[in-house]
Structure 1
Amino acid sequence: MIEHIRTNNVQRFTGFGELYDESRPTAPAEVIKILSSYLGRQPQTVVDVGCGTGLSSFLWLNDAASIIGVEPSDDMRAVALAKWEAMQRPANLQFVKALSHELELPAASTDIVTCSQSFHWMEPQSTLREFARVLRPGGVFAAYDCDWPPVVDSDIEQQYMKLTTLGHQLAVELEVEQEQAYKWNKEEHLSQIQASGLFRYAREIVFHNWEPCTADRYVKLALSQGSLQTALKLGAKELEAEAASFREIVEKAFAGEEKSILFGYRMRLGITK
């Protein structure tokens, strides 16, 4: 059953790597500051699991001797590799295909393991066992996620929620049950870390980051949600009309200007024994 879920979760991200990369937020520098502080030094090795298009992997280029981006989706990883090529293949960064519970890395070889917007797609306990195996004593695991929608305007945010809720409903209705992805509850990340018994300390940290945003990007942020993409791929015409209406509302509110939007983050971390 778990293997079936893992397969569906990987396949969920097929076909919209470019859209995801151009709209989703780059991981903020606060991640480096927080995790390096808990580690007590600059990390030698960082493993970024479920790294997608690399938005959370490239972050570490100047702050870790070795970065390994782990991504099972060929589409997502292809985008990351194209960016890596465009940057003249930085030697301290590599992208590999693997699953979270089978990293194929030596034991006690890693200082920091991160999951940016991805831990909820992984079976938590088998994943945490693997993370604890590859982390050195005193190593840090951190799962961090955005709150949706990003802060900009109450009317826009209400329409964003209306659109994404409809996308989720249609995806559930249209997709064959055996092909549906499964998402573990983000609110249980901390309790999963604590329940594993693998970490001597665990806590939640809340922080935020302001980013510039155009109307086009804000619309694409909504469209980059997996449930919307699933529904659209399954031919949800009602959703296409709702997305077009949402674009009109956003473009009118932005009026051709760039706005600052606020991404709120919630990080759940554990430090190994």
Structure 2
Amino acid sequence: MIPEGNRSAHIDRFSGFQELYDRHRPEAPPLVIRLLTDYLGRRPGLVVDLGCGTGLSAFPWLDAADRILGVEPGDGMRHIALAKRAAIGSPANLEFVPGYSNRLGLPDGCADIVTCSQSFHWMEPSGTLREAARVLAPGGLFAAYDCDWPPVLTPSVETAYRHLIGSADAWNAAHAPQEQRAVKWNKDGHLSRMEASGHFAFVREVVFHHLERCDAERYVGLTLSQGGVQQALKLEASGLEDEIAAYRERVERHFAGQTLEILFPYRLRLGITPS
């Protein structure tokens, strides 16, 4: 039973391509761990990662927190995270569980940090913020952070990326059944919603970047890992396969068989509960 305030469409949107997602999406940058730990002022006891997907935002905390709990409602995504955990010896301080951001079933004040990596825009914000504030200890941190898509490359490739995403979104808007349509909350409103919630004594936005090595296969994979593209492919969007092929050719022409260091821009919105 999905708790009120959640939509099955948001879970189903990311089903069926979790291997592609995990292979190409970036892990949480080390700067996130450093930044949040510095604001907290100590090593976190428990980090709760909401909408953790395949664990890309949970595993980087392994050596930086006493315990990490990844919460993910999607079975396919969570199973990848569990398989990766088993592959490294099933560390006792890392768990992945099913759950929803507005009904965690955790004790009051048990967590030092609650994170949402590339996920807060899929969550009903008021209930999520209320639940995050409930499970956070005094002086605890809530952090929602996202990439600015696409990663920095060239005007022509980035324009082609936006056109492809736009084509997929237009097809979904016209052809997806009502129950399959996702509702995203605008990321630009994250900070103002956090501030208006009244749960935090301090809020701010931090903008930074991370450099990662990337080849043409990964850059295209990052594009195809976007939920809107995958939904349009499932709906057999007319002409989309041809547009993807042309996009792939453009990306491959730019990379010319090389692996390059490219810039991933990030925005992190931070809230700290009263001490």
Shorter chain as denominator, the TM-score bin is over 0.9
Displacement after TM superposition at 1:162 (Å): 1.0
CA contact (8 A) 1:5 1:182 kept: no
Displacement after TM superposition at 1:61 (Å): 0.3
Q: 2:9 maps to what in 1?
A: 8
Displacement after TM superposition at 1:203 (Å): 0.6
Displacement after TM superposition at 1:177 (Å): 1.7
CA contact (8 A) 1:17 1:79 kept: yes
**Gap runs ≥5 in structure 2:** none
Equivalent position SS for 2:81: helix
Displacement after TM superposition at 1:3 (Å): 3.7
**What amino acid sits opposite 1:227 in the alignment?**
G
Displacement after TM superposition at 1:167 (Å): 1.0
Once residues 60 and 178 of structure 1 are traced to their aligned partners in structure 2, the CA distance between those partners, rounded to angstroms, is 36
**What amino acid sits opposite 1:131 in the alignment?**
A
Equivalent position SS for 2:127: helix
Once residues 64 and 237 of structure 1 are traced to their aligned partners in structure 2, the CA distance between those partners, rounded to angstroms, is 47
Equivalent position SS for 1:237: coil
**What amino acid sits opposite 2:88 in the alignment?**
M
Q: 1:43 maps to what in 2?
A: 44
Residues 24-173 of structure 1 mapped to structure 2, 5 A cutoff: 24-173=25-174
Which consecutive segments of 4 or more residues in structure 1 shift more than 4 A? none
Once residues 124 and 162 of structure 2 are traced to their aligned partners in structure 1, the CA distance between those partners, rounded to angstroms, is 27
**What amino acid sits opposite 1:93 in the alignment?**
L
CA contact (8 A) 1:108 1:134 kept: yes
Equivalent position SS for 2:137: strand
CA contact (8 A) 2:14 2:227 kept: yes
Equivalent position SS for 2:27: coil
Displacement after TM superposition at 1:4 (Å): 7.2
CA contact (8 A) 1:152 1:260 kept: no
Displacement after TM superposition at 1:237 (Å): 3.5
Residues 162-201 of structure 1 mapped to structure 2, 5 A cutoff: 162-201=163-202
Equivalent position SS for 1:63: coil
CA contact (8 A) 2:5 2:127 kept: no
Once residues 104 and 208 of structure 2 are traced to their aligned partners in structure 1, the CA distance between those partners, rounded to angstroms, is 29
Once residues 155 and 124 of structure 1 are traced to their aligned partners in structure 2, the CA distance between those partners, rounded to angstroms, is 35
Equivalent position SS for 2:201: strand
Deviations along 1:107-154, one digit per CA (max 9) or x if unpaired, are 000000000000000000011010000000000000000001100122
Equivalent position SS for 2:7: helix
Once residues 88 and 184 of structure 1 are traced to their aligned partners in structure 2, the CA distance between those partners, rounded to angstroms, is 37
CA contact (8 A) 1:5 1:181 kept: no
**What amino acid sits opposite 2:116 in the alignment?**
C
Q: 1:252 maps to what in 2?
A: 253
Once residues 208 and 240 of structure 2 are traced to their aligned partners in structure 1, the CA distance between those partners, rounded to angstroms, is 33
**What amino acid sits opposite 1:184 in the alignment?**
W
Deviations along 1:198-236, one digit per CA (max 9) or x if unpaired, are 100001000100000010000011110000000000111
Report the identity percentage. 56
Distance change >3 Å, CA 4–CA 206, structure 1 → 2: closer
Residues 167-176 or 123-132, more deviating: 167-176
Deviations along 1:27-61, one digit per CA (max 9) or x if unpaired, are 10000111011111110110000001100000100
Once residues 75 and 260 of structure 2 are traced to their aligned partners in structure 1, the CA distance between those partners, rounded to angstroms, is 33
TM-score, normalised via structure 1 length: 0.98
CA contact (8 A) 2:71 2:98 kept: yes
CA contact (8 A) 2:69 2:97 kept: yes
Deviations along 1:141-174, one digit per CA (max 9) or x if unpaired, are 0000000110012211111111111111111112
Q: 1:267 maps to what in 2?
A: 268
CA RMSD of aligned residues (A): 1.3
Displacement after TM superposition at 1:178 (Å): 2.5
